[in-house]
Amino acid sequence: MQIKILDSWLREYLKTEATHSDIARVLSLTSVSVEKLQGVGDDFLYDIEITTNRVDLMSVIGLAREAQATLSESGFKAELRKPSFVQIKKGNNFPIEIKNDPELVNRVCAVVLEVNVKETPKEIAQRLEASGVRPLNNLIDVTNYVMRETGHPAHVFDFDLLNTDKLLIRKSRKGEKIVTLDNKEYSLLGEDIVMEDGSGRIVDLLGIMGLSNSVVSDRTKKILFFIDNNEPKHIRNTSMSLGIRTEAAILNEKGVDPENALNAMYRGIELYKEIADGKTVSDVLDIYQSRYPPNKIEISFEKIRKVIGEDIPPEKAERILRKLGFDVRVDKDKLYVSVPSLRRNDVSTEEDLIEEIARVFGYQNLKSILPPVNQNRKFVKYEDEFYWEGYVKTSMKYYGFTEVYTYSLVPEDLYEGPVENALSLKNPLSSDMKYLRGSLTPSLLSVLDENKKKSEFKIFEISNIYKKRKADLPNENLAFSALVKKSNAFFEVKGVIEAIFEDLGIFSINFKKRSEGAGGAEIFVKSQKVGYIELLSDDVCDFEINFNLVKKLATRKKTYTPITKFPELIEDLAVVLTSNISTIDVLNEIKNVDPLVKDVSLLDRFEDTRTFHIIYQSINRNLTKEDVAQLRERIKKTLQEKFSAQFK
Amino acid sequence: MEEELLSIKNNAVSLILDASDLETLEDIKLQFLGKSGKLTLAIKEIAKLPQERRPSVGILANEVKSTIEEAIENQESNLKTQASKRIREKIDVTNPGIRPPLGHLHLVTQAIEEITEIFKSIGFERKRYPEVEWDWYAFEALNFPPNHPARDDWETFFIDSEPHKKFGPMLLTPHTSSGQIREMERNKPPIKMLNIAKCYRRQSDVSHTPMFHQFEGLVVDRGISIAHLKGVLDFFVKSYFGDKRESRIRPYHFEFTEPSFEVDVTCGVCLGKGCRLCKEGWLELGGAGMVHPNVFKNVGIDHGEFTGFAFGWGVERVLMMKEGIEIDDIRLLYSNKLEFLEQF
């Protein structure tokens, strides 16, 4: 929440020698953040962010109280000028019978006044304007001024337009229609707090906004000045559902102090007398069924020291709490504290009190020490959950790939497979982000669309994909996916995968032709499927790999093979094979002929002839030409038998 | 004999001077000075001469040998000089180099790596927890009241599924703090964990993306105080932002910490003097606080015995706050335009 107030207004309740910049600095460090301080004529405007727990500071008086406490503990003389509003007789002499529902409204204060509509005095108008409230007429301006100054929202009805002797506070019924004072029509949801006149005519949307049927105007002669303290939960629901975010709603949904309601009423009456020739023609009605008992907390000085990290003198702790409005009793090594009503939602535990003491003492005055390192914990680099992820990302960078981060939430057309299998959001921001993805590649394809102008590029991502489970959280699995835009990129992509796996110490990788879907290959480690390569078109190739599996298989384990001193013999063998035969099968067959075949690779492929590059080597003797000739014949024989191969 | 030696010398010197490369020169050397080189053989003949002639011929032979050796050495050095000159003249060193491929890591990855290293160096261990969570972990156990705005449909993404009997609705975790509950349910103190993960909130504008990253620290042990939180914070700010930047904590409010703090770092542009980019010289880094007793209660840790602190800050936010990187619309980070990604 934000509040803007003029320095001169604050000083009506705060007597201090501190300058405006002292006040801004001390409040920021010990209480609430003054985000901007600017000059306005010969005055200054504080723009303050108030945290949601401190709705009591959404007011001039609240801030004056807080400033008094924090300034005086920071070396400045400061005193609170306590408000003393003229009190009007409380009683039952009231022209309207008001029936409250204490489940919905904690307290109602009301009074009837005869008034004259006039221009609002300049000083009041300027204060409101600086606060970001547009002055309208003196009758409405009083309600806004009261809200800013005391922190309690207030409302004013045209008494004659109400034209009733009965008002009934109740929950709305679904579908009931209202027209707010800015002439917008709304259909109610059924949980809203409304007030009707007994005949079904709704005259107020409580805590949020007044209605056009009872709004004051230039012709108003008599008013019902009305202060309602509401149940926050209902206010939040109504305000968010209908999209009416008035300041009253924002305060009421946080829970304002009911003890403050009567003060706000007295201050309002004072102002109506001052600027609208107001004359009370009723008693002040005060319906307040259930007062909250104050929170009582006890806390030891030992506990305070433990959390803060150093000793704070007991008398200082006591003084700080008193200045903030708490009742305090000190007994030996403990503080017995009673929490004022205005802090009842915010302070209920020992830790809450420690915060009050520590912040006013000044966080900048506390020590700064690094905590001790955990003991008895080992550190194994390769067992680190995140090690391989970083390792592969870096590898990909040096293979020329650029990393992307795409959204985990995707539209229907980027979800692979039927969306019934997807985890979907109940409340998506838009249909573009409705499903949790089950695959990364569609997202990478959308990056392709975003970079149409680029003729060639390589991208990758390592992120979670999500798989729905019955009555449980989904499986979250790291997927590793990449996309290359370049013509005939299949073997480049395959080569990257081979290089990555080799570097991770995984050697038993193999590829099988895909039997359905887009052209490409399934990737296996031994017989376990770990991913796929897809050749989507002549110039787009992608892959996706289950990175959790890869992480499990990756190893830094090294093996040493003695370096043989006997030379290699190398020859190239041209083999004629039909096109349905996979090169990998031929390579495996050649390799399996004899352990003396140290390595074999495909050198070249032209029409139906494939040329294999074969390396022969023995670890314990020199191979002769005769040895090689024998091996060659055995290879030929095997290939003839298995693949009906021919030789040129 | 003398004549033969002189003729060898002349022959050798003229061949040496004609040699146009080092290989030829090496051949000439072998031809004359090698095991069966002409001079070597001639010198062997000296032994057959009569005793009285041997000294003078011997002296001559030595002279011839050193003359040839010298000539070879000179020519070798000439040829080397010439070769260097040729290479020097042939190469245009201003032509572009042949580069190995070089891609780019995303800014978020780079930030995560740096953050992880900083915290690792003071004993934090990075952990991983679910992104899709139950309400219990994201809110309830973190002491959020039932009607807290973060728990309604306007701020948090909910999954369209049956709520869990014990743990409530399924949702996308809006903060890394859910990891606190996971960690403390699984492990007993001492705890010193770092959680860097994707989070999701229902908002999208120049400073918010529906998906973003946070890093969360949690330290729980006997005797952990606000002073320790300040220590870790100062260490991070100096390490990540540099020595010129200062930090401070000031009061704030979160449901799952008490006391709660907002952490500020001096603005990288004005270094704390105040400018149009910051709030009176300071930029908000994020939230922190002492673990709330109700949170300890919810995970079964005795809050009389243990205390702890936690912080959770935006990765994208610290990235933007680092000097020199000013991105006016944070959504650019996830737009994946290569012109953008290739800058980093």
CATH number of the domain within which B238 lies: 3.30.930.10
> Which residue of chain A is at minimal alpha-carbon distance from B130?
A476
Report the CATH number at residue A302: 3.30.56.10
The pLDDT mean for chain A works out to 93
Give the least confident one: A135-139, A288-292, A573-577.
Answer: A288-292
Residue B97 inside a domain? The answer is: no
Domain match, B133 and B191 both? yes
Domain match, B202 and B301 both? yes
Q: Is the pLDDT of residue A309 over 80?
A: yes
- Say if A548 is an interface residue toward chain B (CB within 8 Å): no
Domain match, B70 and B143 both? no
Domain match, B220 and B123 both? yes
Q: Is the pLDDT of residue A557 over 90?
A: no
- Say if B300 is an interface residue toward chain A (CB within 8 Å): no
Domain match, B284 and B200 both? yes
In the structure, what pLDDT confidence band is assigned to residue A429 with cuts at 50, 70 and 90? very high
> Which residue of chain B is at minimal alpha-carbon distance from A345?
B145
Domain match, A253 and A132 both? yes
In this prediction, residues A528-555 reach a mean pLDDT of: 95
Kindly list the residues from chain B whose CB atom is less than 8 angstroms away from the CB atom of residue A366. 226-227, 230
**What DSSP string describes B210-265?**
SEEEEEEEEEEETT--HHHHHHHHHHHHHHHH-TT--EEEEEE--TTEEEEEEEEE
User: Under a CB-based contact definition with an 8 Å cutoff, are residues B202 and A429 in contact?
Assistant: yes
A366–B226 CB contact, under 8 Å: yes
A565-582 CB burial, b ≥16 within 10 A, e <16: eeeebeeebebebeeebe
Residue B103 inside a domain? The answer is: no
- At B225 the pLDDT is 95
- Say if B283 is an interface residue toward chain A (CB within 8 Å): no
Domain match, B49 and B126 both? no
Task: Select from A31, A52, A80 the last residue of a domain.
Answer: A80
Domain match, B85 and B126 both? no
Host domain of residue B56: 2-90
B231–A240 CB contact, under 8 Å: no
> φ and ψ at A399, to 5 degrees?
-95, 5
Report the percentage of chain B scoring pLDDT > 70.
99
Kindly list the residues from chain B whose CB atom is less than 8 angstroms away from the CB atom of residue A389. none
Domain match, A549 and A574 both? no
Of the candidates A639, A627, A631, which has an alpha carbon nearest to the alpha carbon of residue A588? Answer: A639
**What DSSP string describes B42-101?**
HHHHHTTS-TTTHHHHHHHHHHHHHHHHHHHHHHHHHHHHHHHHHHHHH--TTSPP-PPP
Residue B96 inside a domain? The answer is: no
Q: Is the pLDDT of residue A112 over 90?
A: yes
State whether residue A598 is helix, strand or coil. strand
Of the candidates A324, A250, A270, which has an alpha carbon nearest to the alpha carbon of residue A62? Answer: A324
B121/B214 Cα distance (integer angstroms): 19
Kindly list the residues from chain B whose CB atom is less than 8 angstroms away from the CB atom of residue A428. 157
Query: Smallest Cβ distance to B232: which of A371, A377, A399?
Result: A371
Report the CATH number at residue A521: 3.30.930.10
- pLDDT (tens digit, 9 = 90+) per residue, A502-514? 999 999 999 998 8
B225–A306 CB contact, under 8 Å: yes
DSSP designation for B208: B
Residue B101 inside a domain? The answer is: no
> Which residue of chain A is at minimal alpha-carbon distance from B123?
A373
B103–A401 CB contact, under 8 Å: yes
In sequence order, the 6+-apart residues with CB closer than 8 A to the CB of A511 are A494, A521, A522, A523, A524, A533, A584
Domain match, B178 and B51 both? no
> Which residue of chain B is at minimal alpha-carbon distance from A235?
B147
**Distance (Å) from the alpha carbon of A551 to chain B's nearest alpha carbon:** 14
Q: What HEC string does A181-202 produce? A: CCCCEEECCCCCEEEECCCCCE
Give the least confident one: A101-110, A128-137, A220-229, B50-59.
Answer: B50-59
Determine the residue type at A126. Q
Residue B141 inside a domain? The answer is: yes
Q: Is the pLDDT of residue A379 over 90?
A: no
- Say if A357 is an interface residue toward chain B (CB within 8 Å): no
DSSP designation for A360: H
Angle at A103 (CA atoms; ends A99, A104), nearest 5 degrees: 70
Task: Select from B56, B90, B124 the last residue of a domain.
Answer: B90
The gap from C-alpha B161 to its chain's centroid, in whole angstroms, comes to: 42
In the structure, what pLDDT confidence band is assigned to residue A375 with cuts at 50, 70 and 90? low
Residue A558 inside a domain? The answer is: no
Please report how many Cα atoms fall inside a 13 Å half-sphere around the Cα of residue A314, on the Cβ side. 14
Q: Is the pLDDT of residue A167 over 80?
A: yes
Q: Is the pLDDT of residue A517 over 90?
A: no
A74-109 CB burial, b ≥16 within 10 A, e <16: bebebebeebebeebeeeeebebebebeeebbbbbb
Domain match, A153 and A262 both? yes
pLDDT under 50 in chain B at which residues? Answer: none
B5/A107 Cα distance (integer angstroms): 132
**Distance (Å) from the alpha carbon of B132 to chain A's nearest alpha carbon:** 7
In the structure, what pLDDT confidence band is assigned to residue A290 with cuts at 50, 70 and 90? confident
Domain match, A51 and A101 both? no
Domain match, A205 and A121 both? yes
Domain match, A419 and A509 both? yes
> Which residue of chain B is at minimal alpha-carbon distance from A409?
B211
DSSP designation for A382: G
B128–A307 CB contact, under 8 Å: no
- pLDDT (tens digit, 9 = 90+) per residue, A209-256? 999 999 999 999 999 999 999 999 899 889 989 999 999 999 999 999
In this prediction, residues A31-38 reach a mean pLDDT of: 92
- At B324 the pLDDT is 64
Q: Best of B98, B109, B192 to disrupt the A interface by mutation (most A CBs within 10 Å)? A: B109
The gap from C-alpha B125 to its chain's centroid, in whole angstroms, comes to: 19
Quickly tell me which residue has 């708490």 as its tokens: A326
Host domain of residue A210: 97-288
Task: Select from A265, A288, A311 the last residue of a domain.
Answer: A288
Residue A183 tokens, joined: 């002439």
User: Under a CB-based contact definition with an 8 Å cutoff, are residues A159 and A224 in contact?
Assistant: yes
B159–A425 CB contact, under 8 Å: yes
Residue A466 tokens, joined: 């999500």
Query: Smallest Cβ distance to B226: which of A308, A349, A386?
Result: A308
- Say if B144 is an interface residue toward chain A (CB within 8 Å): no
User: Under a CB-based contact definition with an 8 Å cutoff, are residues A627 and A621 in contact?
Assistant: no
> Which residue of chain B is at minimal alpha-carbon distance from A234?
B147
> Which residue of chain B is at minimal alpha-carbon distance from A236?
B149
- At A461 the pLDDT is 98
B248/A266 Cα distance (integer angstroms): 42
Residue B243 inside a domain? The answer is: yes
Query: Smallest Cβ distance to A405: which of B159, B334, B337?
Result: B334
Query: Is pLDDT larger for residue B2 or for residue A322?
Result: A322
Domain match, B206 and B314 both? yes
Kindly list the residues from chain A whose CB atom is less than 8 angstroms away from the CB atom of residue B121. none
- Say if B221 is an interface residue toward chain A (CB within 8 Å): yes
> A435-436 and A472-485 as β-strands: parallel, antiparallel, unpaired?
unpaired
DSSP designation for A568: P
**Distance (Å) from the alpha carbon of A648 to chain B's nearest alpha carbon:** 39
- pLDDT (tens digit, 9 = 90+) per residue, B242-285? 999 999 999 999 999 999 999 999 988 888 887 877 777 888 89
Q: How many domains does chain A contain in total?
A: 5
Residue A371 inside a domain? The answer is: no
Query: Smallest Cβ distance to B103: which of A34, A232, A402?
Result: A402
Domain match, A183 and A270 both? yes
User: Under a CB-based contact definition with an 8 Å cutoff, are residues A456 and A486 in contact?
Assistant: yes
Residue A251 tokens, joined: 């305060």
Residue B198 tokens, joined: 């994707």
Domain match, A281 and A320 both? no
- At B146 the pLDDT is 87
**Distance (Å) from the alpha carbon of B109 to chain A's nearest alpha carbon:** 9
- Say if B108 is an interface residue toward chain A (CB within 8 Å): yes
B147–A36 CB contact, under 8 Å: no
Q: Is the pLDDT of residue A343 over 70?
A: yes
User: Under a CB-based contact definition with an 8 Å cutoff, are residues A147 and A19 in contact?
Assistant: no
Q: How many domains does chain B contain in total?
A: 2
In this prediction, residues A460-471 reach a mean pLDDT of: 96
B147–A355 CB contact, under 8 Å: no
Task: Select from A266, A288, A310 the last residue of a domain.
Answer: A288
**Distance (Å) from the alpha carbon of B144 to chain A's nearest alpha carbon:** 12
Residue A373 inside a domain? The answer is: no
- Say if A243 is an interface residue toward chain B (CB within 8 Å): no
